[in-house]
Amino acid sequence: MIELEGVPELIDPVMVAAFEGWNDAGDAASTAVAHLDKEWKGEVFAALDAEDYYDFQVNRPTVWMDAGVRKITWPTTRLSVVRVGGEKPRDLVLVRGIEPSMRWRSFCNELLGFAHELGVELVVILGALLGDTPHTRPVPISGTTSDADLARRMDLEETKYEGPTGIVGILQEACTHAGVPAVSLWAAVPHYVSQPPNPKATLALLNRLEDLIDVRIPLGELPEDARAWQVGVDQLAAEDSEVAEYVQSLEEARDTAELPEASGEAIAREFERYLRRRDGGPSAGDRTRPPMPPKPGAKDDDEDSSDD
């Protein structure tokens, strides 16, 4: 039984998670959660036992000095909580860590235990993948869920993916089996410039998250960092004619594919974001809330989790 002391009663809590590793191209997803934690001054209230989930020959601990005393930081996953103010305050439970090396089902069940105990209404998992997308165009963001009803109500895609998966896919399915509404947001990072950081992809993930959970996220220097990143990649591409031609071919393919998608819906979404930022708070409409997840302890939850 997870007992959380010192954590206040949360308001409409949403869990937002990201993990370094295979699901984090350009470090875009983990940087997004780190940004939320920094901007809202998150307070860590729990950390998973590193011994249970990590191979220290793969993810090594680090040694550092604190006032002349040697200390060790172990690779793990930490949870913090932040409160988003405004007319409709709500809390975010931020999960930030490294993709575990082992015991993925136990790892997910432990996170779900925290979600149940805190009354989390929705889990949003951020990820980033390498794709054939040009750096000069808006970053493609896809929102997926395994829940058909949630897909309809929140304008998401019902996932049809088959193939190798990482902790993002495993955690989403664990949430589904446990009856916890869960969504994955994926940013496509240009494969020809995959080195971190990628502030443009991080910014795109935060903008989509802002739309999804109806909060205003302070962006700090991210917009300027994203512009500087694109200028830098432009300069590198211009120095190599083959790369420049390749980028142009990606641009043409992207523009042709997206021409029918330049709909009023996309324009309306951007306009709503502009109004939120201008007015300094959430939009006037009520939040779309998924159904509350059941509390742990039901027999079916344990059986489903063991089958995942």
What's the confidence (pLDDT) of residue 202? 98
Q: Which residues contact 246 (CB under 8 A, 6 or more apart)?
A: 192
- Displacement of CA 73 from its chain's centroid (Å): 24
Q: Which residue has the tokens 């040697």?
A: 70
pTM to 2 decimal places: 0.82
What distance in Å separates the CA atoms of residue 132 and residue 182, rounded to the nearest whole number? 27
Radius of gyration (C-alpha) of the chain in whole angstroms = 20
SS3 237: helix
* Residue-level pLDDT at 159: 87
Query: What was the pLDDT predicted at 7?
Result: 79
| Phi-psi map region of 67: left, alpha, beta (phi>0 left; psi -120 to 50 alpha) | left
Domains and CATH numbers, the chain: 13-261 (3.40.50.10900)
pLDDT of residue 222: 97
Q: Which residues pair with 92 in a beta bridge?
A: 14, 82
The distance of Cα 183 from the centroid of its chain, to the nearest Å, equals 9
Tens of each residue's pLDDT in the chain, 308 residues: 466 767 778 999 999 999 999 999 999 999 999 999 999 999 899 999 999 999 999 999 999 999 999 999 999 999 999 999 877 889 999 999 999 999 999 999 999 999 999 999 999 999 999 999 999 999 999 999 998 888 998 889 988 888 999 999 999 999 999 999 999 999 999 999 999 999 999 999 999 999 999 899 999 999 999 999 999 999 999 898 888 999 999 988 888 876 555 555 555 665 565 565 666 555 434 454 454 444 444 444 444 444 44
pLDDT at 288: 45
pLDDT (0 to 100) of residue 300: 46
Separation of alpha carbons 165 and 306, rounded Å: 17
Q: What is the DSSP letter of 162?
A: -
Predicted local confidence at residue 254, as pLDDT: 85
